[in-house]
A = this chain, B = another copy of it.
Amino acid sequence: MEDYLAKRRALIAKDRAARLDSSDRDGFASDASCDEADAYVRRIREAEALSVWGPESTHTHGEGDATHLFPGMAFLTARDIIIKTRLFKIMSKMPKGALLHAHLDATVNARVLLDLALKYPAIHVQTDALLTTSNLDSILPQFCPLPRSEWTEHASLTDQSYESKTWVPLSAARDTFAFGGPEGFDRWVIGALTISPSEAYRTHNTTVKIWDKFASTFRVANGINKYFPLWQEYFRQFLLSSIEDGISYAEVRINFWYRLMCTADGEETVPHREWLEAFDRILHDVRAELAAQGRADEFVGCRIIYSTIRFVPPEELDWYLEDCLALKQEFPDLIVGFDLVGHEDLLRPLLDYLEPLQRFVARQREVGVEIPFIFHAGETLGDGTAADMNLYDALLLNTKRIGHGFSLIKHPELMALCKERGVAVEVCPISNEILRLTSSMPAHPLAAVMNHGVPVTLCSDDPSVFGNMGLSYDFFQVLVASEINGLKTMGCLARDSFKYSCLPEDEKARATALWDKQWRKFIEGLFHEEIADEKLRGTVKN
Which of A's residues lie within 8 Å of B, judged by CB? Answer: 1, 4, 7-8, 11-12, 14-15, 17-18, 65-66, 68, 70, 202-203, 205-206, 208-209, 354-355, 358, 381-385, 388-389, 392-393, 395-396, 409-414, 437-440, 442-443, 445, 447-448, 451-453, 481-485
Contacts and interface: CB of A to CB of B under 8 A. Distances in A.
Contact of A482 (B14, B384, B411): B384
B205 A358 contact: no
Contact of A437 (B209, B443, B445): B443
Given A1-B354, A66-B203, A448-B448, 6 more contacts: A15-B392, A70-B206, A381-B440, A384-B483, A412-B451, A412-B452
A447 B385 CA distance: 12
Most buried by B among A8, A12, A68, A438: A68
Please list the 6 inter-chain residue pairs (A to B) with the smallest Cβ-Cβ separation, ordered nearest first: A384-B483, A384-B484, A15-B413, A439-B439, A383-B482, A381-B442
Interface centre among A382, A383, A389, A483 (most CB of B within 10 A): A383
A437 to B, nearest CB: 7
A8 B392 contact: yes
A533 to B, nearest CB: 28
A7 B417 CA distance: 14
A182 B232 CA distance: 72
Contacts of A482: 383-384
B7 A396 contact: yes
Nearest to A351: B8
Most buried by B among A65, A208, A483: A483
A508 to B, nearest CB: 28
Given A208-B70, A443-B437, A443-B439, A15 B411 contact: yes
A415 B382 CA distance: 22
A437 B443 CA distance: 7
7 contacts: A11-B396, A15-B413, A17-B413, A381-B442, A384-B482, A411-B451, A437-B443
Contact of A1 (B68, B209, B355, B443): B355
Contacts of A443: 381, 437-439, 443
A409 B205 contact: no
Nearest to A436: B439
Of A203, A358, A389, A442, most buried by chain B (CB within 10 Å of CB) is A442
A255 B10 CA distance: 34
A18 B453 CA distance: 19
Contacts of A440: 381
Contacts of A202: 66
Contacts of A388: 483
A418 to B, nearest CB: 12
B70 A383 contact: no
A214 to B, nearest CB: 16
Contacts of A484: 383-384
Contacts of A205: 66, 68
Contacts of A12: 389, 392
A411 B209 CA distance: 33
Given A68-B206, A451-B411, A4 B358 contact: yes
Given A4-B396, A8-B396, A66-B202, A413 B481 contact: no
Given A66-B202, A383-B482, A443-B439, A14 B448 contact: no
A413 B11 contact: yes
A483 B386 CA distance: 10
Given A12-B392, A70-B206, A18 B412 contact: yes
A445 B410 CA distance: 8
Contacts of A451: 410-412
A539 B329 CA distance: 55
